[in-house]
Amino acid sequence: MEKKQKAIVVGAGISGMSIACLLAKKNFEVTVVEKNSIYGGRGRVLKSNDFVFDMGPSWYLLPEVFDDFFKLFNEDINDYLDLVKLDPSYRVFLPKGKVVNISTDIEENIKIFESIEPGSGENFKKYLEKSEKLYKVLVGRLFYKDLTSRKVLMDRSLLKEFKGLSASDLFSNYEKLCSKYFKTEELKRIIQYGVALLGSHPEDAPGLYAMMSYADYKQGVFYPKGGIGKLFTAIYKLSKKLGVEYKFNFDVTSFNYSDNKIVSVISTDGQKEDSDIVIMNGDYAHTELKILEDKYRTYDEKYWSNKKIGASAFIVYLGVNKKLKNLEHHNLFLDRDWKDHFKQLSDSDIWPEKPAYYVCAPSKTDPTVAPSGCENLFFTVPIPAGVEDNDSMRIKYFDKIIKHFEQLIGEEIKYNIIYKKIFTVNDFIQDFHAYKGTALGLANNLKQTGFLRVGYQSKKLNNLYYTGQYVHPGSGLSACVASARILSDKITDDLNEK
């Protein structure tokens, strides 16, 4: 009987668990080693005082990506998740006290757009047509292709996948694309909110991001009862069913090498796991700069220092002992100076003075995530990666954000807080070895998209691969699952060529 190949996956985030499932299905012996004491990575769940907080991702978009993933194993995701469609999808707080709810009903959204910018309803329809076109090409045809591979890029059939897209679709920035359809700053903010939360300036982000509006307005925003953590649990359970083993509290600090291959991974406390192939779902930059020996690095310190690193985040998990009237499940606070927000994120090393931010209140939808009569609040404020972080700064920033939040919702909460936890730059470094405390890996901008992102495979070690938010397609739950599928196909191709 032929011996199974041993795959070591470093990191039990969504990409790590997904690639573990895919390789187990291909008859690999798979072990996932994880630095922390629980699976999930940035998607871990925090439970305290009967509150249940999703610690990272909180938007369930592109549902077909997850549906299709489970179908690969003849599984139905609905056997794992109880999904509800949110309506309204989210609430937006705009300048001058204007508040709008984005609906699942396109006609209702047209009325909202018309109320802000007369005549924009027809342009909104045209924009959604463009968004759908982009979506069907990018998610339907390119999402699962390794666009960093020379072999893929040299394949002439790839050109067919771009059919229907113009050069401006591919290479113009998001701001320029949106300006073709909308004149007012308010409408552009509503459309561009996803870029704001990712910490990318619309002038730097690819116009391809318009595809997300199709997911937003045509597909809708979903929520798995119990929280987004249920998705991570579903993939974890699937991996266990497929025979994947897990070793927690295993912090990889070095490798053993032979013949330009990694033959074992070593933890801080001396544990060792032998390997035929190694897949890093941990931080790409940390792996290259802190774990690999110098001669095995594909990208050196100069490379990373010249790259645009995605934003970090000031995250607050709050439990309050009253119900709040003026919130929905998802809430976007976009009332401040838009350009100044992005300038401070991109060009400074200070905490933004007047940031755009996001508040999730899942207890508006799900009574299981908070005690009766209470609200579960999850604040996410994009801040520059690498900023100084200490307790004094955290306290001041928390007070600043809460004061603004109370003003906009018209209610006080500071005396009703019964649980509070802050998670920001130093925590990202401590828990995830995140380069400069980034929450998002490489920024998603025009110079770091598709074939311009870092590669899936080491150029120095034949059996070292990467998956997750640093590689194509980028950050986000669906993109990370897609990266695992791309890598699974690549590993199969590599083995078949040997």
Which residue do the tokens 């300048």 mark?
95
37 burial type by CB count under 10 A (0-12 exposed, 13-18 middle, 19+ buried): exposed
- DSSP character for 310? P
Domain ranges of the chain: 6-82+226-307+446-497, 106-218, 308-432
List, in order, residues 6 or more apart from 348 with CB less than 8 Å away. Answer: 384
Contact 64, 195 (CB under 8 A): no
Lowest mean pLDDT, pick from 113-127, 160-174, 265-279: 160-174
Stretch (H or E) spanning 479? helix 477-497
Residue 436's pLDDT band (boundaries 50, 70, 90)? very high
DSSP 356-405: -EEEE-GGGT-GGGS-TT-EEEEEEEEE-TT----HHHHHHHHHHHHHHH
Omega of the bond leading into 88 within 30 degrees of 0 (cis): yes
Global confidence as pTM: 0.95
Looking at CATH, the fold of the domain delimited by 308-432 is given as: Guanine Nucleotide Dissociation Inhibitor; domain 2 (3.30.519)
* Common-topology check for domains 6-82+226-307+446-497 and 308-432: no
Tell which residue, 380, 449, 440, has the closest CA to residue 174: 449
Q: Does domain 6-82+226-307+446-497 have CATH number 2.60.120.10?
A: no
Q: For residue 199, what pLDDT is reported?
A: 65
Cβ neighbours around 235 below 10 Å, total: 28
Q: For residue 498, what pLDDT is reported?
A: 66
Q: For residue 63, what pLDDT is reported?
A: 96
Average of per-residue pLDDT across 339-345: 85
Lowest mean pLDDT, pick from 219-228, 402-411, 436-445, 479-488: 436-445
Q: For residue 2, what pLDDT is reported?
A: 67
Tell which residue, 240, 266, 258, has the closest CA to residue 10: 266
Strand spans (E) along 111-259:
222-224, 245-247, 252-258
Sign of torsion over alpha carbons 469, 471, 473, 478: negative
Residue 200's pLDDT band (boundaries 50, 70, 90)? confident
Q: What is the pLDDT of residues 11-36, one digit of tens each?
A: 999 999 999 999 999 999 999 999 99
Cα-based torsion angle of the residue sequence 57, 368, 423, 287 in order, rounded to the nearest 10 degrees? -40
- Residue 94 has φ and ψ, to the nearest 5°, of -110, 175
